[in-house]
Structure 1
Amino acid sequence: MSTAATAPAGEAVPRGGVFAAYALTLLLLANVFNYADRALLGIVIEPIRKELLLSDTEIGIISGLAFSIFFLAAGLAIARWVDRGNRRLILVLGLALWSCATAATTFAQGFTSLAFTRMLVGIGEATLFPVAMSLLADLYPGAKRTLMVSIFQASSGIGIVVGSVLAGVLAAALGWRTMFEIFGAAGMVLVTLMALTMRPTPRTAVVASQRTSGLWIAIRSVLAVPGMPWLALGYGASNMVLASLPVWSPAFLLRSHGVKLAEVGALVGGPAVIGGITGGICAGLLATRLIKRSGNRWAGLIVPMVALPLAIPAYAVFLFAPTLPVVLVGIAVMNFLLSTGLGPCAALAVSLVPASERGVTSTVMLIVQNILAFAIGPLVIGVASDLLTPHFGAESLRYALATMLVAPVVASAFLWVARRRIRAAARD
């Protein structure tokens, strides 16, 4: 028997108001911790690499491939659970696991033990996105959902800046091991708050009346939705630069611009969060307006389709500008433009499927995102950096990061195909 809460026949699901606002606030806090914990490793890559004697390729495997493989494996197992089970319980358990794994990073002694903790972090964090998309779809119907999903996604920027700034300061003052302990303990405080105060959100009545199918049948059903595979590819490709920068930009600034460890988080985090949050929210507002004016749910895709290619010059400025202030301007503009795809893509995806398949749909989006953005992106950069070291020395990372310059325009092309196919299917 399912433990999921469903709205009784004739009873409306609570939408808007204080109930929804508090649930959204807790989801925002969870997402802040999610991305803060992801950012920690990138800030202290250099001291960890030197202490544990790791190569850039090994760092790429630990921060990308090891994290993503277990993130995906857990996501597949969690997908159907989210559509059937108690979403609050799933999120609390996931947050507790990734917080404990973050704290356990303090015991890492080499490549294997460090990779193991990242695997556990990946398993725990696989719960948040599908739970959040499922809850927000019930709490905020219609065009307003795009804005709320965009706000949720924009909170990732807050997590990155909080994680980056505090990680740099704490690691410089107390060491990187103690820094991981502190962040893990802080996550457990949020676990307690969420477990004690977050009310269950009833599902829409349609879920209660539908028979749930097997996981692979559900995934095939989601992928059969016109435009969905292309939408997932566009979402994943749009994240390739965003996912790679928290891993490699601190090391890039340390190596190529001589920034100190205690300062690197604040330097990267400020411009990144300002650009990312404003870009995400502005994209959500503009996409919501376009959807309302046109009456078409896919109208919001125009925003990232135009904005993503415009991020390429800003990314080039970040990589090749000779002075640090100009580099920071490049980060801000780049993050503003790259963040435009997060909310509109995710909101459109869950709007194309029945309520009973929102968890699976979110997981499909996560699978593609993690393969492209979190597994392939950082690993390609790490391998390229090692290969280019004999030719460029400490500057090899600069040119390795340049391998991601093509990603935004590829993402825009995928979204163009997705929008075209969704429109065609709606007309049939």
Structure 2
Amino acid sequence: MTASDGVATDRSEGGPTIAQGAGLALALLGLINLFNYMDRVLFSVLLEPIKAELGFSDARMGLLGGFAFALFYAVFGLAMGRLADRTNRVRVIAVSLALWSLATAACGLARSFIGLFAARMTVGVGEAGCVPSAHSLIGDLFPPERRAWAVSVFTGIGSLGSMIGLVVAAALVAEHGWRMVFFYFGLPGLALALVIPLVLREPPRGRFDRGGATRPPALKPALADLLGSAAVIHLLIAIPFYYVTVGLATWIPAFFQRVHGVGIADFGRSGGLALGLGVLIGTFAGGWLANRLIRRARSWEFRLPALAGLVSAPLFAATFLVGDTGLAYGLLFLAFLVSGLGMGPSMSCMQVVAGPHVRATAIAFMVFATSIISYGGAPALVGLISDLALAHGLAADGGASLRLALIVTLLPPLISGLFFQAALNRRRRIDPEL
């Protein structure tokens, strides 16, 4: 295989010749990520009906929407990343998909906080195996100059899953109830999990890297290699700070229901499309833009997400402040479009600073950080601030308290660019071409 054609024709690790090509492999990985995002976003759409039936507070709903998923997603992501560096990544993905699909369906059976927490926890455990393994595969399917584009495509197809989850779940919940929606979305993933090992093959590791991949080091040297890098540490702050807006999306359907008085189905048709299309168009456009800019200067892999975070945060604030519902939907679309521009490049930055022998482990650390800060901490913090604001008279009602909480938590994406620039400066000491 040549580095320029991007087609996987090498012999896999213990498997047959890879004939489907890098493009088809990327499409399959994207389809898996579509299920990943689709199952993950369901809770945000169903938050208000679950809260009404089970009588939970905003703080409890924030824990279920955030930490119940994210804490275990983070912890098991580290183990899954290590596993992906040492074993067959395709098998890791297939087993993970089967587990989170079953757990998503199990959410529909929950009758208590503990039961729903356990189901959400298991969704997090299963989904932890997707991103580290997939990013590592992408690193061996595409040469360095095309990785930001490939990661953007992978992320963009996942974003399509978010839109499907928002729109379709919102349409189904009114007629079928929130419990059945979890079944409808969870069970099809099992069929895909059975198909993936039959059509996706393991490419050789490190074939686009100088000298190829070495044998994965023991855990302690691997951790020392990663955590001893200042560039890696800066990215472990920059990326989750940037992705805080994704965590805030857990509360956006509830925000429009409380502040603008729209129904779930109405939000799905308008707000869900605005959010989903914004992320989808932004992510694909960001991949295309990064691909062109990186040809001029490789530093754009770091600079593009820095700029996107700086511009998107004020757009999100405006979304939460305007009184007109239609204008709020338009701003929501623009905010997620701009945020989406940096999603692919922000994550591919980690592949720039981590070698092939620890790449999945590095991505797992990134998943850990984004899980704790973005997917777990941000939704939980919003719920806590909302409850406190209401209890201490800082807001007149649940809508006003939620608006205040959402705006307060926009500070991290606003300053994420400082850490992307710091990571770039550190990496330049090793690679002056950046």
What's the counterpart of residue 6 of structure 2?
A: none
Offset, 1:198? 2.1
Does 1:369 pair with 2:388? no
TM-score by length of 2: 0.91
SS of residue matched to 1:108? coil
- Correspondence for 1:242: 246
Cα RMSD for the two superposed structures: 2.2
Alignment-derived partner of residue 347 in structure 2 = 346
Q: How does 1:200-215 map to 2 (within 5 A)?
A: 200-204=202-206, 210-215=214-219
1:331 partner letter = L
Distance 1:209 1:249 in 2: 43
- Shift of the 353–7 alpha-carbon distance from structure 1 to 2, 3 Å rule, reads farther
Output aligned runs, 1:367-406, within 5 Å: 367-390=368-391, 391=393, 392-395=396-399, 396-406=401-411
In structure 2, relative to structure 1, the CA distance for the partners of 1:324 and 1:216 (3 Å cut) is farther
Residue in 2 that maps onto 1:252: 255
One-letter code aligned to 1:72: A
Q: Which residue of 2 aligns with 1:185?
A: 187
Q: CA deviation at 1:87?
A: 1.0
Deviation at 1:424, TM superposition (A): 2.9
Deviation of residue 220 (structure 1)?
2.4
1:112 — aligned with what?
114
Q: Which residue is equivalent to 2:415?
A: 410
1:14, distance to aligned residue in structure 2 (A)? 8.3
SS at match of 2:120: helix
- 1:123 and 1:171 mapped to 2: Cα distance? 26
What is the SS of the residue equivalent to 1:107? coil
2:325 matched residue in structure 1? 324
In the alignment, structure 1 residue 228 sits paired with structure 2 residue 232: yes
Which moved further from structure 2: 91-100 or 393-402? 393-402
Aligned length: 416
CA deviations 1:90-125 (Å, max 9, x no partner) are: 000000000000001111111111010010000000
| C-alpha deviation, 1:7, in angstroms | 6.0
Matched, 1:156 2:158: yes
Match of 1:23? 25
Hey, what's the Cα distance between the residues in 2 that align with 1:128 and 1:268? 27
The percentage of counterpart residues that share the same residue type is: 32
SS at match of 1:199: coil
Q: Give 1:71 shift.
A: 0.8
Paired position in structure 2 for 1:3 = none
Could you tell me which residue of structure 1 aligns to residue 93 of structure 2?
A: 91
Q: Please tell me the residue identity of whatever aligns with 2:98.
A: A
The amino acid of 2:246's aligned partner reads L
Higher helix content, 1 or 2: 1
- 2:279 maps to which residue? 276
In structure 2, give the amino acid aligned to 1:173: E
1:305 matches 2:309: no
The one-character-per-residue Cα deviations of 1:314-349 (angstroms, maximum 9, x if unpaired) are 112210111111111111111111122321122121
Counting only pairs closer than 5 Å after superposition, residues 162-181 of structure 1 correspond to structure 2 as 162-181=164-183
Q: What secondary structure does 2:187 align onto? A: helix
Alignment partners' CA distance in 2, 1:209 and 1:368: 25
Kept after mapping to 1: 8 A contact 2:303/2:417 = no
SS in 2 for 1:337: helix
Give the conservation status (yes or no) of the 8 Å contact 1:36–1:163: yes
**1: CA distance, partners of 2:269 / 2:350:** 34
Displacement after TM superposition at 1:157 (Å): 1.9
Instruction: Determine helix, strand or coil for the equivalent of 1:212.
Output: coil
Tell me by how many angstroms 1:229 deviates. 0.9
Structure 1 stretch displaced more, 298-307 or 370-379:
298-307
Q: Any idea what SS the aligned residue of 1:44 has?
A: helix
**Aligned counterpart, 1:53:** 55
* Alpha carbons of structure 1 residues 411 and 90: separation in structure 2 relative to 1, 3 Å: same
| TM-superposed deviation, 1:18 | 4.4
> Please, which moves more after superposition, 349-358 or 84-93?
349-358
Structure 1: which 4+ aligned runs deviate by more than 3 Å?
6-9, 204-209
